[in-house]
C-alpha cells in the first residue's frame, strides 16, 4: 500500500520535466494521476509509462487558464476516479526579457499561465471541497502550488516570471488561511531541476553529469516532497513555501515585519535619513537577486 493509495491527483504541465517526475512518483505510491498538459501526445506518453508500471492514470489536454477548462478536467477526473483529493499546480512558461524590453504580451502571457493557471483549477476544486465539507463529508485535500527562487529573490531578465511566482506565494498564504476550515491545506514549492525551461536558460549548469555522480538537477529529486505533501501525512502543514533541489529541502522564511523605530508622532522627512540607515543596519540582509 503506497503513501497516496487511492488519492486522485491532478498535475498540470505533467507531460515532461518536473510534472512528469511527480506523476510517476505519485502513481508509484498508489495515486490515481490526472496528467494534464496542453501537449496531448506528451500527456499520453506519461500515462503509458504509468500503465506500464501497473499504475492508474488518465491524460487530459484541457486549458488550465479558463474556468471552463478547469471544470472539464475535474469532471473527467471525477467521472473516472470518483473524487479529486490533490491539485499540483505545476504548469508554467517563460518570456524572458530585461524589464524595459518586455512587451505587454510578454507580461500578460506569463501572468495568464502562472497566476490565472493557478487560480482556475484551485478555485473550481476548492468550491467542490467546501461544499462537500459543508454537507458533512470528510475532506482531506491538498493544493500544491509552484513558486520559484525567482519569486522569492527576484531574477534578472525575469521580472514578469518573478512577479508571477511571488504572487503565487501570496496566493498560497491566503488559501491556507481561508480554506483550513474545510479540510484543505495549501503549500508551495520552489523547485530547482532540469526542465525544458532551465535547459533553455542555462543548459551547461543543469546538464546531467557524465561521470555517474549524483545528478542534483534530476527532476525526480523534487518528487518525494510532492508525494509527501499530497499524502494524508501532511494534513497538519499549510501555508509553507518549500525550496527543493537535489538532496536539499528547506522552508523559505518569507516577508515579515522587521526592526521598528517608533517616534510616537509624525516623522519629518529631514529626520528619516539616519533612521532608515539604522533600520537597514539592524535588518537581516536580503539574498541577492539571481543574476547579480
User: Annotated catalytic sites, by residue?
Assistant: 148, 161, 165
User: What per-residue string of b and e applies to 77-109 under the rule 16 or more CB within 10 Å gives b?
Assistant: beeebebbbbbbbbbbbbbbeeeeebeeebbeb
C-alpha distances in Å from residue 161, one per residue of 126, 156, 175, 220: 25, 10, 21, 23
Cβ-contact 14, 146 below 8 angstroms: no
Q: Which of 129, 214, 143 is nearest to 175 (CA)?
A: 143
Cβ-contact 121, 142 below 8 angstroms: no
Q: Which of 64, 87, 180 is nearest to 142 (CA)?
A: 87
Report residue 108 as a C-alpha cell: 500578460
Task: For the beta carbon of residue 50, count every other beta carbon within 10 angstroms.
Answer: 23
Q: Which residues, listed in sequence order, are joined to residue 185 by a DSSP beta bridge?
A: 142
Decide: residue 259, CB within 10 A, 0-12 exposed, 13-18 middle, 19+ buried: exposed
How far apart are the C-alpha atoms of 77 and 206, rounded to whole Å?
Answer: 34
C-alpha distances in Å from residue 114, one per residue of 162, 181, 220: 10, 26, 22
How far apart are the C-alpha atoms of 84 and 120, rounded to whole Å?
Answer: 15
How far apart are the C-alpha atoms of 16 and 237, rounded to whole Å?
Answer: 28
φ/ψ (deg, to 5) at 111: -65, -40
How far apart are the C-alpha atoms of 23 and 88, rounded to whole Å?
Answer: 10
Amino acid at each position: 500500500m503506497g503513501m497516496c493509495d487511492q488519492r486522485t491527483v491532478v498535475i498540470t504541465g505533467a507531460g515532461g520535466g518536473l510534472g512528469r517526475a511527480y506523476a510517476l512518483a505519485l502513481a508509484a505510491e498508489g495515486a490515481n494521476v490526472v496528467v494534464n498538459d496542453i501537449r496531448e501526445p506528451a500527456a499520453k506518453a506519461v500515462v503509458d509509462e504509468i500503465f506500464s508500471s501497473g499504475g492508474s492514470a488518465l491524460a487530459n489536454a484541457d486549458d488550465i487558464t479558463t474556468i471552463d477548462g478547469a471544470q472539464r478536467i475535474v469532471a473527467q477526473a471525477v467521472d473516472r476516479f470518483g473524487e479529486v483529493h490533490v491539485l499540483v499546480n505545476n504548469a508554467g512558461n517563460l518570456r524572458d526579457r530585461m524589464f524595459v524590453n518586455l512587451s505587454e504580451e510578454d507580461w500578460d502571457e506569463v501572468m495568464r499561465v502562472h497566476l490565472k493557471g493557478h487560480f482556475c483549477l484551485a478555485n473550481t476544486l476548492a468550491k467542490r471541497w467546501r461544499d462537500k465539507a459543508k454537507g458533512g463529508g470528510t475532506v482531506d485535500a491538498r493544493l500544491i502550488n509552484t513558486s520559484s527562487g525567482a519569486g522569492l529573490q527576484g531574477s534578472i531578465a525575469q521580472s514578469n516570471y518573478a512577479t508571477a511566482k511571488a504572487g503565487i506565494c501570496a496566493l498560497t498564504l491566503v488559501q491556507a488561511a481561508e480554506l483550513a476550515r474545510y479540510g484543505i491545506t495549501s503549500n508551495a514549492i520552489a523547485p530547482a531541476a532540469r526542465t525544458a525551461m532551465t535547459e533553455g536558460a542555462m543548459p551547461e549548469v543543469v546538464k546531467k553529469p557524465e561521470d555517474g555522480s549524483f545528478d542534483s538537477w534530476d527532476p525526480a529529486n523534487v518528487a518525494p516532497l510532492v508525494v509527501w505533501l499530497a499524502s494524508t501525512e501532511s494534513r497538519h502543514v499549510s501555508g509553507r513555501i518549500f525550496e527543493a533541489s537535489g538532496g536539499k529541502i528547506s522552508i523559505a522564511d518569507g516577508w515579515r515585519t522587521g526592526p521598528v523605530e517608533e517616534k510616537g508622532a509624525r516623522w519629518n522627512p529631514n529626520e528619516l535619513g539616519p533612521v532608515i540607515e539604522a533600520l537597514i543596519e539592524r535588518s537581516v540582509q536580503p539574498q541577492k537577486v539571481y543574476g547579480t
